[in-house]
Amino acid sequence: MRGSISKSKYILKILKSWSHLDVDAIILWWSKETVAVVTGGNRGIGLEICRQLAAHGVTVILTSRDPGAGLESIKFLSEVGLSLIYHQLDILDLSSINRFIEWLKENYGGLDILVNNAGINFNLGSDNSVENARKVVETNYYGTKSMIEAMIPLMKPSVVGARIVNVSSRLGRLNGRRNRISNAALREQLSDVESLSEELINTALSTFLRQVDDGTWASGGWPQVYTDYSLSKLAVNAYTRLMARKLSDRQEHEKIFVNCYCPGWVKTALTGYAGNNTVEEGADTGVWLALLSHQPITGKFFAERREINF
């Protein structure tokens, strides 16, 4: 009896936290058997996403490139009463990804939720160096892309659909008022989801990186603030829409819903702790998307639990 009361209070707490939604439409579909993988989970928004998912009762696999940092984060969460699993994962290392695939298959048979949080940024404040542009693009876009490609075959059949959540940024918006690429023809091509392709995304990034190498990027029409980070997130946003289209014809019970979201300007190491939002606020929409019951919502971009334009 006491356990039932405790569980009811826990469910009520969840529903109150989602109070702006229609409570009657919410189905708590997840359980301890639900497996969520979070990349870059050892600090900042990734760590908070892990914490919130675990607090909801999901089995969370926290991954990080550095085992020491990851295990320290697991220890920290255990001290607040949460039990998570750790596994090393470098999203830029194919052998690391393959080891993780085999371990995941052997121990859990797959996953239900993938949160692509791992990312880097070297520019703070008014600084806009592109010295690390190649590393930023490789990590934020190609690393995310590699994880999606690797995890799709392992996503478990489900009546509510598996979920992929990509942590992105408004800085990567195609048609935002600030910081957009000035090439109108390229913007139009990237806006057309029906003709969008990996080749188009890759070509745009390759052109930018080539201009970085030859020193002409500043006149190439690219964003003038957080340039490399913005382009890497623009690519993530485009790839989110592309994968949503590609996955849309999957059979029932094999559906995979893929969305991206902007956590806002969060006080983390990525922003030099100069943000306006807390990590709790930054993680909220990502967790909401991961656990959303009234699917199908796919190929969309969100912030503060509301859809925004690409």
Task: State the CATH number of the domain containing residue 49.
Answer: 3.40.50.720
Q: For residue 22, is pLDDT > 80?
A: no
* Sheet of 306-308, strand order: 85-88, 59-64, 35-38, 113-116, 162-167, 256-261, 301-303, 306-308
Residue type (1 letter), 148: I
Cα–Cα distance between 94 and 196 in angstroms, integer?
26
pTM of the predicted structure, to 2 decimals: 0.89
DSSP 41: T
Does residue 190 fall inside a structural domain? no
Domain count, the chain: 1
Does residue 227 fall inside a structural domain? no
Cα–Cα distance between 87 and 99 in angstroms, integer?
10
Does residue 144 fall inside a structural domain? yes
Handedness of CA 134, 42, 145, 193 (dihedral sign): negative
Q: For residue 4, is pLDDT > 80?
A: no
The bridge status of strand 59-64 relative to strand 35-38 is: parallel
pLDDT the model gives residue 273? 60
Does residue 118 fall inside a structural domain? yes
Q: How many residues does the chain have?
A: 310
CB 145 within 8 A of CB 137: no
Cα Rg, the chain, nearest whole Å: 19
Q: Find all residues with CB under 8 Å of 189, minimum gap 6, and list them.
A: 195, 196, 200
Does residue 281 fall inside a structural domain? yes
Place of tokens 């983390």: 268
Q: Find all residues with CB under 8 Å of 24, minimum gap 6, and list them.
A: none
Provide the residue range defining the domain that includes 289.
Answer: 20-170+251-308
pLDDT the model gives residue 277? 83
pLDDT the model gives residue 256? 97
The residues assigned a catalytic role are 229
Two structure tokens written together for 260: 């991206």
Does residue 211 fall inside a structural domain? no
Report the alpha-carbon angle 254-40-174, nearest 5.
70
Q: For residue 53, is pLDDT > 80?
A: yes
Cis? peptide before 296, omega within 30° of 0: yes
Q: For residue 274, is pLDDT > 90?
A: no
Residue 182 CB neighbour total at 10 angstroms: 11
Q: Which of 6-15, 36-45, 164-173 has the lowest mean pLDDT?
A: 6-15
Does residue 109 fall inside a structural domain? yes
Beta bridge partners of 99: none
Does residue 38 fall inside a structural domain? yes
pLDDT the model gives residue 295? 62
Give me the mean pLDDT over the 265-272 stretch. 66
What percent of the chain stands above pLDDT 70? 88
**Terminal CA-CA length for the chain:** 49
pLDDT the model gives residue 267? 64
